[in-house]
């Protein structure tokens, strides 16, 4: 997971995609063998890592949990601290104190 909320650019399916640095290589490899990745977030030590893929029929699914996301865009909501999460997965966020590394 990334400590910071910064993104890097990766070329996937001919387009430039913004990704969390810690997910870059994983997403690039995943797109060679799996359906098209539409969104991802490492969770930044607050939420679980999520990778959303779209299947041929237009179904969007989070690959780790298997949960189907009923939207075609705007998958993530933003919490009061500026971190993104998927409401359908509603993992309880970690307290801010747990995010600070010693």
pTM (two decimals)? 0.74
Residue 5 has pLDDT above 70, yes or no: no
- 16-49, pLDDT tens digit by residue? 777 888 888 888 888 777 667 888 888 888 888 8
- 53-73, pLDDT tens digit by residue? 887 778 888 988 889 998 888
Own/partner long-range contacts of 1-7 (Cβ < 8 Å, ≥24 apart): 1/42, 1/43, 1/44, 1/45, 1/49, 2/42, 2/44, 3/44, 3/45, 3/101, 4/44, 5/44, 5/82, 5/83
Residue 96 has pLDDT above 60, yes or no: no
Q: What is the reported pLDDT for 85?
A: 86
């Amino acid at each position: 997971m990334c400590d910071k909320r910064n993104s890097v650019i990766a070329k996937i399916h001919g387009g430039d995609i913004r990704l969390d640095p810690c997910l870059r290589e994983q997403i690039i490899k995943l797109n060679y063998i799996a359906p098209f990745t539409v969104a991802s977030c490492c969770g930044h030590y607050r939420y679980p890592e999520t990778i959303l893929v779209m299947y041929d029929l237009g179904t969007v699914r989070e690959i780790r949990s298997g949960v189907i996301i009923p939207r075609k865009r705007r998958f993530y909501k933003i919490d009061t601290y500026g971190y993104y999460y998927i409401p359908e997965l509603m993992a309880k966020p970690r307290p801010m104190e747990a995010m600070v590394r010693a």
